[in-house]
Amino acid sequence: MNGFVVAATRSMADYASRVVDHLLKFPSFAPMADTVNGVELLKIDCFANGEMEAVVTRSIRGQEVVLFTSSARNSQGIGVEAAKIELYHAVDALKRSQAEKIIVFEPFVSCSRSDRTTRRNSVGLWVHVKILASLGTCHFVTYQLHSDKSRSMVDPTICLVDDIPALTLLKKYLCDVYIRNTETLENVVRSRWAFCSVDAGGEKLARGFANAFGAPLVVAHKQRDYSKSNTIESINILSAEPLENKVLWIVDDMVDTAGSVESLIRTLSSHRPAEINVLAVHAILSPPAAGRLSRLSAEGLLNRIIVSDTVCCSQSGASSEKIPNLEVVPSAELSARIVRTIVTNASLSKLMRPFDAGIYLKSPNLFNQ
């Protein structure tokens, strides 16, 4: 892995350091000298008028650079737009420093919800990736984009996009923490659990869990008021089995304001399940999410919420209001494996294949699956 550098914008410096810690477990990886915890940090100069400039402080000519970045909530308190501008400047600085290859690794793409193409609206995700590609990014890596069509927005001959299904992290976490053995899978999970989509469009995500665990699928069909953001008129529950005394797991790619989750949980509670839980990759948790989730927990309607750390979930970064029963699944080890796979030109196909809980529980090792 000669000529390989891990870099980060300020918003992802801590995360990138954790990735490097896992990379160090691979004998062939050695961080470049003069780095901070193995991470190349770009110097950011800010001018009096608010403009900025990114500076690469040493030669990286001919090096392959993996740049970790995020425009979402972060421990540094850098806002969305400032983080994006810093990223664009960072890529430009790397390109001007004659990096051989620039790989942008953005675990959560904050503009991924802006992916609807109509006549008179901008498409934030397309704008974002197009800018990165035009500046010199040749490979863009992320976790769990908001929709399948997002991957087709950019010509892969100009910039390759890899969307890694991070919901597999949550499936393995359920196996490791709550199931543990095939007996529980057979006798408890398949008879008492059910996985529920947040809406008809999320059926594919929930079905992936239902298939992986051999449990029933529940589909929530919601009617939205598209004249207002994050507004739901009604929810219909479609299930082949009664939900009474079931352990329900609501599956989604992200939790933003938690408006959809709150409405769905209140609708599901009328079916008298044993408990209701939430599984989501990206914990955006925009206000008033913390208040909504805390209220549901206090009322006994929400048992636990399990998310990954693709968005900063520390109490200092997430919210001044603590969310009860929030469990955060780390993703840095998986990110390290992805980086190692890419820089050694190995195949990512193992990370894309469907997850089977029965097979995993017979040999529960994250990096053998």
Question: Tens digits of per-residue pLDDT, 102-143?
Answer: 999 999 999 988 887 777 899 999 999 999 999 999 999 999
Q: What is the distance between the alpha carbons of residues 334 and 366, in angstroms, rounded to a whole number?
A: 8
Q: How many CA atoms lie within 13 A of 320 on its CB side?
A: 2
Respond yes or no on whether the N-terminal peptide bond of residue 288 is cis (omega within 30° of 0): yes
- Averaged pLDDT for residues 213-233: 76
pLDDT of residue 152 exceeding 60:
yes
Do strands 193-197 and 217-224 pair parallel, antiparallel, or not at all (unpaired)? parallel
pLDDT value for 151: 72
Q: How many residues does the chain have?
A: 369
pLDDT value for 368: 45
pLDDT value for 317: 43
pLDDT of residue 5 exceeding 50:
yes
- Averaged pLDDT for residues 197-215: 95
Fold match between domain 4-165 and domain 167-331+355-368? yes
Q: What is the distance between the alpha carbons of residues 306 and 124, in angstroms, rounded to a whole number?
A: 27
Indicate the residue type of 258: A
pLDDT of residue 198 exceeding 70:
yes
- Averaged pLDDT for residues 356-369: 74
Q: What is the distance between the alpha carbons of residues 170 and 329, in angstroms, rounded to a whole number?
A: 7
160-193 pLDDT, tens digit each = 999 999 999 999 999 999 999 999 999 999 999 9
Give the domain ranges of the chain. 4-165, 167-331+355-368
pLDDT of residue 47 exceeding 70:
yes
Between 221 and 298, the more confident residue is 298
pLDDT value for 34: 60
Q: Give the CATH number of domain 167-331+355-368.
A: 3.40.50.2020
Between 322 and 37, the more confident residue is 322
Q: Which residue has the tokens 């490791």?
A: 176
pLDDT value for 312: 93
pLDDT value for 367: 44
Share of the chain above pLDDT 90, in %: 76
Contacts for 319 with CB less than 8 Å, ≥ 6 apart: 285, 287, 289, 290
Contacts for 302 with CB less than 8 Å, ≥ 6 apart: 265, 276, 277, 278, 293, 296, 325
**Is this model's pTM higher than 0.85 or not?**
yes
- The fold of 4-165 is Rossmann fold (3.40.50)
Instruction: Report the mean per-residue pLDDT for the chain.
Output: 90
pLDDT value for 30: 67
Which pair of tokens denotes residue 104? 């942008």
pLDDT of residue 316 exceeding 50:
no
pLDDT of residue 201 exceeding 80:
yes
